[in-house]
Amino acid sequence: MLALRDIISPELILPDSNATSKKRVLEQVAELCANPSDMDTFFHLLIEREKLGSTAVGEGVAIPHCRVPTLHKSVGCFIKLKQGIDFDAPDNEPVNWVFGLCVPIEATTEHNNLLAEIVTQLSQAKIRKQLENAQSAEEIYQILVAS
């Protein structure tokens, strides 16, 4: 079974995003997760998924995700926002942390397992506090893959 350490690396972490809108955050997820030639496709798929309902889960966390027909291996990214943004969260709180997830279209079980692991990690107040204090991509990476 894939774990977070299998889909993310420090290079896929943006520790100080200036994004001020959900659209810009989704663009950044696409920029981090896709090859340059696939960025538009990833962005479109993320937008389409978001139209089904917000991927914000509350407590300042959003997990935008999509299935990509041309993708062969799941990839994740993490964005720490300098300022919280409106992401239509169920608790109406601004989002500060975004874990983007893109998976191959046929990876249903893998997709669900990774989403569950991300939610489990980011639902812990202790983890969110560590992320709040983290300054670098490497530091954030170590927090995300620690357990």
Name the nearest CA neighbour of 79 among 19, 3, 4: 19
106-126 pLDDT per residue, tens = 988 988 999 999 999 999 999
Name the nearest CA neighbour of 130 among 143, 117, 141, 112: 143
Residue 90: which pLDDT band, with cuts at 50, 70 and 90? Answer: very high
Report pLDDT for 147.
63
- Residue written as tokens 């935008």? 64
Q: What is the mean pLDDT of residues 86-94?
A: 95
Indicate the average pLDDT of the chain: 94
Query: How many domains does one find in the chain?
Result: 1
Is 65 among the residues known to form the active site? yes
Range of the domain at 121: 4-145
Catalytic residue among 44, 65, 72, 111: 65
32-66 pLDDT per residue, tens = 999 989 999 999 999 999 999 999 999 999 999 99
Q: What is the mean pLDDT of residues 141-146?
A: 93
Q: What is the CATH number of the domain that holds 66?
A: 3.40.930.10
